[in-house]
DNA sequence: CAGTATCCATTTTGATACTG
DNA sequence: CAGTATCAAAATGGATACTG
């Protein structure tokens, strides 16, 4: 992981390095983002469903993370009613590709964190590109 | 991911829920921890090697993360000299099992984050239990 | 219900200096 | 080199109130 200046001028300057792990962390590496994605894998799609998850995400954080994930192309906001505007959130295929990351995390936890309660296997999430 | 009260009294109260994803995030879910683990996979073992990584982890953060990872049984501190005391850090087998998580993150980044520069495949890390 | 906004406390961080 | 200590700044978090 030596310092190699990146040649790609479109490479986001807010990324700390070009290391794939570091890039993923710059996109998803906080306390809440992957939990929102987990919920999408559990086929939750509405704001209220996310807030009901047992971890209790604060609404301001949720709104922020939904915005960022959409900006990153990982989820898509789909209006299902225009007045008042109501939306549902879906994984894109880019987002659905995080399934292996979540799966690896789940397996590690099942093996190494006593007391975890896994959901039935993650269902195939519904994708909307 | 419904609210199920955990029966295991030894289950850490600081964990937000018994969801495996949430548990992993409570252990590793910040901006720096997985980068330290990545470095260990790249067979870096000494303090100075971690600080040389391109992301530039501050020394106070590094010291804190090494302490926490050791407390979590993910790494082990091995003294290689006693005066002055000098240590090297190694993955335990519990830590080495995070290889699949890192691997999944790397693959996702390679596919979806233009401009990432992957290292040669992660070598088999040296394990010390 | 689906958000937005606000306010404040706590945490995290970055930078730097210091010690043996 | 391998850390520890300090401190200000920034990010994040939690609680709650508010709107259509």
Which pLDDT does position A119 carry in this prediction?
A: 80
Torsion of CA B19, B21, B23, B29, to 10 degrees: -150
Encode pLDDT of A76-120 as tens digits: 999 988 888 899 999 999 999 999 999 999 999 999 999 999 987
Q: Does residue A10 lie within any of the structural domains?
A: no
CB contact under 8 A, A113 and B20: yes
Q: Does residue B86 lie within any of the structural domains?
A: yes
**Interchain contact B106–A (C-beta under 8 A):** yes
- Which CATH number belongs to the domain containing residue A62 in this structure? 1.10.10.10
Q: Is the omega angle on the peptide bond into residue A61 within 30 degrees of 0, that is, cis?
A: no
pLDDT value at B1 more than 60: no
Q: Does residue A5 lie within any of the structural domains?
A: no
Chain A residue with Cα closest to B11: A115
Q: Does residue A125 lie within any of the structural domains?
A: no
pLDDT value at A4 more than 80: no
* Total domains, chain B: 1
Structure tokens at A19: 């290391």
Other C-beta atoms within 10 Å of A49: how many? 16
Encode pLDDT of A16-63 as tens digits: 999 999 999 999 999 999 999 999 999 999 999 999 999 999 999 999
**Interchain contact A62–B (C-beta under 8 A):** no
Q: Does residue B21 lie within any of the structural domains?
A: no
Domain span at residue B73 reads 33-112
Of A65, A84, A71, A50, the closest CA to residue B1 belongs to: A50
């Amino acid at each position: 992981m030596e310092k190699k200046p990146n040649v790609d001028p479109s490479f986001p300057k807010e990324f700390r390095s070009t290391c794939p792990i570091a890039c993923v962390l710059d996109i998803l590496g906080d306390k809440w983002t992957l939990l929102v994605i987990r919920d999408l894998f559990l086929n939750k799609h509405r704001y209220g469903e996310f807030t009901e998850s047992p971890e209790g995400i604060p609404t301001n954080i949720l709104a922020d993370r939904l915005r960022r994930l959409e900006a990153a192309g990982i989820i898509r906001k789909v209006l299902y009613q225009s007045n008042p505007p109501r939306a549902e959130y879906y994984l894109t295929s880019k987002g659905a590709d995080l399934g292996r990351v979540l799966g690896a995390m789940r397996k590690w936890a099942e093996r190494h964190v006593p007391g975890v309660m896994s959901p039935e296997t993650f269902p195939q999430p519904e994708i909307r590109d």
